[in-house]
């Protein structure tokens, strides 16, 4: 966000991919906690990556599974993050009170720590036929192999 709350650095051009699938936008609700927004972005950006690289995954279970696994991995990475994640932030963040900036500097509040664990638990215990089963299936594949090999296998299966 720039001056007067104007969005900066937004791409307005859509990207065409091999299979004529277009990704123009990823929409996320405004006002969600930072960690929940990050998880959603990781999940939705995985869908975008697959489309933009021409990967058509017929199985919704496998596609949602890989997206859930990457969202889960992102959340897990935040548990251990202690570096300043916002060095690139503009000077407007300097006008916020120290407590508001604390989570941006890797010092997570108790709420944020609990939110990470809650979100991870929701993903891990989801028993829905697509997201829950997909996560469990793909997570098992990643555990027995690597993320790259799992992605190759999912793409190969189509």
Give the other-Cβ count within 10 Å of 69's Cβ: 27
- Structural domain contains residue 24: no
pLDDT per residue as tens digits for the range 36-58:
999 999 999 999 999 998 888 88
The closest of 100, 37, 44, 106 to 78, measured between CA atoms, is: 106
What is the distance between the alpha carbons of residues 100 and 62, in angstroms, rounded to a whole number? 38
- Structural domain contains residue 87: yes
The closest of 64, 1, 69 to 30, measured between CA atoms, is: 1
Does the pLDDT value for residue 99 go beyond 70?
no
- Structural domain contains residue 89: yes
Does the pLDDT value for residue 94 go beyond 50?
no
pLDDT band of residue 100 (cuts 50, 70, 90) is: very low
Q: What is the pLDDT of residue 101?
A: 45
Range of the structural domain that residue 112 is part of: 33-157
- Please give the tally of structural domains in the chain: 1
Where is pLDDT greater, at 142 or 100?
Answer: 142
């Amino acid at each position: 966000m720039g001056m007067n709350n104007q969005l900066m650095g937004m791409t307005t051009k859509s990207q065409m991919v091999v299979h004529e699938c277009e990704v123009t936008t990823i929409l996320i609700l405004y006002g969600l906690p930072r960690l929940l927004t990050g998880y959603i972005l990781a999940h939705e950006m995985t869908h975008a990556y697959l489309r933009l690289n021409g990967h058509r995954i017929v199985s919704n279970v496998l596609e949602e599974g890989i997206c859930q696994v990457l969202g889960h991995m992102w959340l897990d990475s935040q548990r251990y993050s202690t570096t300043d994640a916002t060095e690139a932030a503009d000077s407007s963040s300097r006008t916020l009170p120290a407590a508001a900036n604390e989570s941006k500097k890797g010092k997570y509040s108790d709420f944020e720590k609990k939110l990470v664990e809650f979100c991870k638990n929701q993903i891990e215990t989801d028993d829905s036929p697509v997201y829950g089963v997909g996560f469990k299936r793909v997570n098992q594949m990643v555990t027995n192999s690597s993320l790259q090999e799992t992605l190759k296998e999912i793409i190969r299966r189509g």
